[in-house]
Structure 1
Amino acid sequence: MTEYGRQLRKQLDGDDQLVCPGVHDPLTAAVADTVGFDAIYMTGYGTSLSATGYPDAGFITMPEMISNAANIQERISVPLVADADNGYGNATNVVRTVREYIKAGVGAIHIEDQTFPKRCGHTEGRQVIPREEAVGKIQAAAEVRTERAEEFVLIARTDARGTGDGSLEEAIIRANAFLDAGADVAFVEGPTDESELQRIGAEVEGPLLYNFVGDLGTSPYVDLGTLEELGFEMVIFPIAATLATIASVHQNLQAFAEDPVDAMRQIDTQFNEQDIGSLHEFSGFPEVIEWEQRYLPDEDREKYEGSLGDSIQ
């Protein structure tokens, strides 16, 4: 349960900034893993949209999120940083939420201080719970981490900057209070420009995460070197794979609607140009064959003799 947390802590303690692409399911995670990253991020928005068809507005449940996180972590070879929304309730609910994510084997989670139902941190209409209550939730999460898996990384997020009467000052106060309550990394959601990033870097007394959402949110485009200079040790690109998936599927299916046969040829060509092998290789059939050879009776392997189909051996 602590293997990936231990890896993640080692990476955070190193000199290099940790950059995590966002994925929404085991398939997109497997693609990211073949490219090669030190850690991968599971987006709440993309998980909700891909698993339920609904936006990031509090529709997805804790078991759905944890199941997705567990399946992703099983499929990849590096630590997963998972969105845990607002912990799915009050501080007592957070206790079970953190226990379940630890059982799922992921390297880290982040918990935010939004009310329920929560929503995407870069949309209008967000609200946060009182500061004291929010600190209690982080304290509960930190104590579970200490009791169950000390290497597990706890990231505390505040959305206070983006509420109707929110201020950067309140967000910074909360971030520091969360670190004092036991969080390992602070995550101030929604800074609006580089001057706010400078204040966060100067005034938050601990490791920082930056949420790079691009055109979908309020946070500015800033190059990674500048973010590192400002003190942001971890950068997530949460919606990267989700946007790429939607754009690619839409483009290809538009062509498919015009000429299915030609579009299928183009899709085949596009896939074969990637350096991930065949679909069967990518999906893991060679490992299945290895299991069969290791564990099944010799006569069971005779099913391959003379059978038709694309080779998976």
Structure 2
Amino acid sequence: MIQAQKLRTLLAEDRCHVMPCCYDALSARLIAQEGYALTFMSGFATSASRIGAPDLGLMSYGEVVDQARNITEAIDIPLIGDGDTGYGNAMNVRRTVTGFARAGCAAVMIEDQLAPKRCGHTPGKAVVGRDEAFDRIRAAVDAREELRAAGGDILILARTDARHEHGLAEAIARAERFAELGADILFVEAPRNEAEMRQVCADLPGPKMANIVEGGETPDLPNAALHDIGYSIAAYPLSLMAAAMQAMVTCLRQMRGDTRTGLMNFAELRQRIGFDDYYQASERYASSKRDHGPGGKTR
């Protein structure tokens, strides 16, 4: 509930929040350490990191919620979870929203793609009909209201991928109905130019999210331009994973020649992971004051 309230406060600000997307507890921890106000669990990056497979609906509900819980336990900033299509019919959507709230997410994204879903910037995606799309968001909002009645809370990020197959007008019409049904944040995926982005923000109420994929269909505009257009959040779903993968591949290739450059030094690595905080906290407890060797291993 606290994280949902934090997210509402952020969305009320007159700015476009830069939102680096995480894929595990460590990447989320680094985002928080660098002072970002919120993060999103990228389905693309999470599927790649957790199961080593593309984001094509292969991860189960249980795997995704488990990953979200690991992330929320590692950070104190709001996390938006990727609930995909809700993992079934409207009743499954209700369970998905409740599960993400219990995992500590500030918001959950529900989309109108046909299951199994696909990454929004890859070929072959399709959307369900309007009635089914609206039922998903209606069910998500019902679950949110039940959570509130019981003392919990979560925001609903409603996404449409209709631009790809049916054009921008259909995508905007769907998103407008999502807002009428009670969605908190709107996300029209993959507008293809700045004019389309401006039309999305001009035609739709409330907070909107832009999704910036390096090499994707949506223009990679500066944050000031995104704010001027009308976005409240700019998500960067693959930046950290692409940077990490490039660094790992570079290191692996260098190791063949006995070289390793560009590494974080061991002291900073330990500090960012939390060794220093652990040892400081453990000083309060006599039974924890045992001799530890390098890397925190007990001798």
- In which range does the TM-score fall when normalised by the shorter chain? over 0.9
SS in 2 for 1:155: strand
Relative to structure 1, the CA distance from residue 282 to residue 167 in structure 2 (aligned partners, 3 Å threshold; closer, same or farther) is same
Contact 2:101 2:153 in 1 (8 A): no
Residue in 2 that maps onto 1:254: 253
Looking at structure 2, the residues matched to 226 and 310 of structure 1 have their Cα atoms a distance apart, in angstroms, of: 45
Residue in 2 that maps onto 1:211: 211
* Structure 2 unaligned residues grouped into runs of 5+: none
Contact 2:283 2:289 in 1 (8 A): no
Deviations 1:44-87 (A, max 9, x none): 00000110111010101111111111111111121111211111
Which amino acid is the alignment partner of residue 284 of structure 2?
Answer: R
Taking structure 1 as the reference length, what is the TM-score of the superposition?
Answer: 0.89
Given candidates 283, 289, 301, the residue that maps to 2:273 is 283
Residue in 2 that maps onto 1:294: 284
Which amino acid is the alignment partner of residue 195 of structure 2?
Answer: S
Contact 1:23 1:240 in 2 (8 A): no
Q: How does 1:67-78 map to 2 (within 5 A)?
A: 67-78=66-77
2:99 pairs with 1:100: yes
Which amino acid is the alignment partner of residue 177 of structure 1?
Answer: R
Contact 1:193 1:220 in 2 (8 A): yes
Looking at structure 1, the residues matched to 107 and 295 of structure 2 have their Cα atoms a distance apart, in angstroms, of: 39
Q: CA deviation at 1:27?
A: 1.1
Residue in 2 that maps onto 1:179: 179
Taking structure 2 as the reference length, what is the TM-score of the superposition?
Answer: 0.93
SS in 1 for 2:132: helix
Aligned residues, how many? Answer: 295
Which amino acid is the alignment partner of residue 279 of structure 1?
Answer: L
- Rg larger in 1 or in 2? 1
Deviations 1:154-184 (A, max 9, x none): 1100000112xx1100000000011111101
Deviations 1:13-33 (A, max 9, x none): 112222210111111111111
Given candidates 281, 290, 293, the residue that maps to 1:303 is 290
Which amino acid is the alignment partner of residue 303 of structure 1?
Answer: R
Percent of residue pairs bearing the same amino acid type: 35
Looking at structure 1, the residues matched to 163 and 105 of structure 2 have their Cα atoms a distance apart, in angstroms, of: 28
CA RMSD of aligned residues (A): 1.9
Which amino acid is the alignment partner of residue 309 of structure 1?
Answer: P
Contact 1:9 1:151 in 2 (8 A): no
Moved over 6 A (4+): none
Which amino acid is the alignment partner of residue 169 of structure 2?
Answer: E
Q: How does 1:81-230 map to 2 (within 5 A)?
A: 81-149=80-148, 151-163=153-165, 166-215=166-215, 217-230=216-229
Q: How does 1:260-279 map to 2 (within 5 A)?
A: 262-263=259-260, 266=261, 270-272=263-265, 277-279=267-269
